[in-house]
Amino acid sequence: MFFKKKETVQSKPELLAVQSGEIVDVATLPDPVFAEKILGDGYAVLPTGSEILSPVSGKIVDVQDTMHAYGIQTDDGLEILVHIGINTVGLNGKGFKAKVKNGQRVTAGQPLAVVDFDYIKAQGLPTYVIVLITNIDEVKSIKCNYGTAAAGETVALTYVK
């Protein structure tokens, strides 16, 4: 009993919802790179708010200059991509404000970015926030919890390593 390890947030085999809204299957996204799971597997949220939260605890390993995508490495070795919008790289950062930087440690539910989704919609671009496990070969199975999500509270995906 005294030597039992206490479970921490980092060791939970789950990804939280990065945004409030509807969790959908990435296979239904209007972009073949995501729909065909070329970059990995996970979930997407059709967002209702502006703040994007980290789905996991870990280390920020990549913040794109355009602030539309964030890479996070979890303590158990998973590589997580949070990609905001589809074809938003062409906006060159307009409408995005990063709240983290490379090398920074984050906890699940911590803000990664603030996004002006009205601006993205005005550019005719889809606003899905896509969360992928990019090294999906490290995972035996995943289960997505489709439906309505609350940012930072709803478990959007569970996995078995």
Residue 94: how many CA atoms within 13 Å on its side-chain side? Answer: 10
Q: Which residues lie closer than 8 Å to 107 by C-beta, 6 or more apart?
A: 9, 54, 57
Cβ(130)–Cβ(29) below 8 Å: yes
Going by C-alpha positions, the residue among 131, 47, 45 that lies closest to residue 81 is: 131
| Exposure on the CB side of residue 9, measured as CA atoms within 13 A | 15
The H or E element containing residue 144 is strand 141-144
CA angle (157, 150, 115) in 5-degree steps: 95
Report the catalytic residues: 83
Q: What does the alpha-carbon distance between residue 100 and residue 61 come to, in Å, rounded to a whole number?
A: 10
